Amino acid sequence: MEDSIYNTEEHQIFRETFRKFVAKEITPHVPEWEEAQAVPRSIWRRLGEEGFLCPWLPEEYGGLGLGFEYSVIINEELLRGNAFGVEVPLHSDVATPYVFSFARPEIKARWLPGCTTGEVVMAIGLTEPNAGSDLAAIRTRAVKDGDSYVINGQKTFITNGYFADLIVVAAKTDPAAGHRGISLILVDKDAPGFQRGRKLSKMGYHMQDTAELFFEDCRVPVANLLGEEGQGFKYMMAKLQQERLEVSIKCQTLAEEALKEALAYAKVREAFGKPIGNFQYNAFRLADMATEVQLGRTFLDSLIREHLQGQNVVQKVSMAKYWLGEMVNRIAYQAVQIHGGYGYMEEYRVCKLYRDVRCLSIFAGTSEIMKLIISRGLGLSA
């Protein structure tokens, strides 16, 4: 499916360059990386060498000063190259923006250049065993002790968690203040008292090093505070628009890929002497799938355009995250069904797509939480 808003010559050159990079450097290694449940650090450095990490950062920090649309292209082409799990978008467009927006100048100078070279991999530690979409319920504590914060707590389901060099950690600096007592603090992988748990085994998303993180009297400099104490919840709400947009891009792109697989198979697989796509039921099912996918692309492109213009699209992004997350699961289900027994076989790409997309209606807030946000935006008190 053709993209509708990245049609300049510069965009096309960038897309083609990155597509070739993925085809050569990433796609051939996907099976071994999925088996290892991780991607090697060397690929991060290769991505950095080619300018594919944090391309939006200003040149003073090693970036290219490009717009968010280039991050969209990177996200799309990784997915089209079977690289769901090479979490460049999480690093570049979710975690690193916290440092750029809220860190002190000396902290930016220390860490941001490495984010563009691949020497520094970023993660963000929000979710806890007993606090997921309800960020106000986090229990991790950070107590100021002289020129340090001492952090105690646990995080789970942390993308890039096993190999991250720097983690944005949400912790309560004033537990009595509820969500107004949350602060964001940077934790270096070498901070005393910081430990990683196991790499988590997941239904899909296999090559992603999702991990548990533990903080036991973990001591970090006060200078690692992002912004002001007690403003962490506000900062997270400000950044969730782009995070949920990034997940929406994943939903839409993988829906397009699942439809592509289903169409190709329906045209060559025969039953009763003709391609199965020529049976009216399958033809109409594919027509329904194509319509949903096209509606999703139109909605997503409009949101990207408004986001690039700096508009507040929190309500629309919540709608997109909910609807696209459910839509991609419907499309992947139907794609497997069209493949029949072969759709259940790992050797078929549609099988991998099916298991990978299941997480997308959960990431960055479940569909149920998105509906709650949408209803409140409609003036309802649900």
Q: Which one of 243, 246, 256, 292 is the catalytic residue?
A: 243
E strand or H helix at 367: helix 367-377
In angstroms, the first-to-last Cα distance of the chain is 38
Residue from 165, 158, 15, 30 nearest 85 by CA? 30
* CA 200 – CA 2 distance, rounded (Å): 36
Dihedral Cα 66, 166, 159, 321, nearest 10 deg: -40
Angle at which helices 280-308 and 232-268 pack, to 10 degrees? 150
E strand or H helix at 335: helix 314-339
* CA 329 – CA 338 distance, rounded (Å): 14
What is the chain's percent helix, strand, coil content, to nearest 5?
A: 55, 15, 30
Query: Which residue's structure tokens are 């309800």?
Result: 134
Other residues' Cβ atoms within 10 Å of the Cβ of residue 101:
13
Q: Establish whether 243 is a catalytic residue.
A: yes
- Residue 168, classified by CB atoms within 10 Å of its CB into exposed (0-12), middle (13-18) or buried (19+), is buried
Instruction: State the catalytic residues.
Output: 243
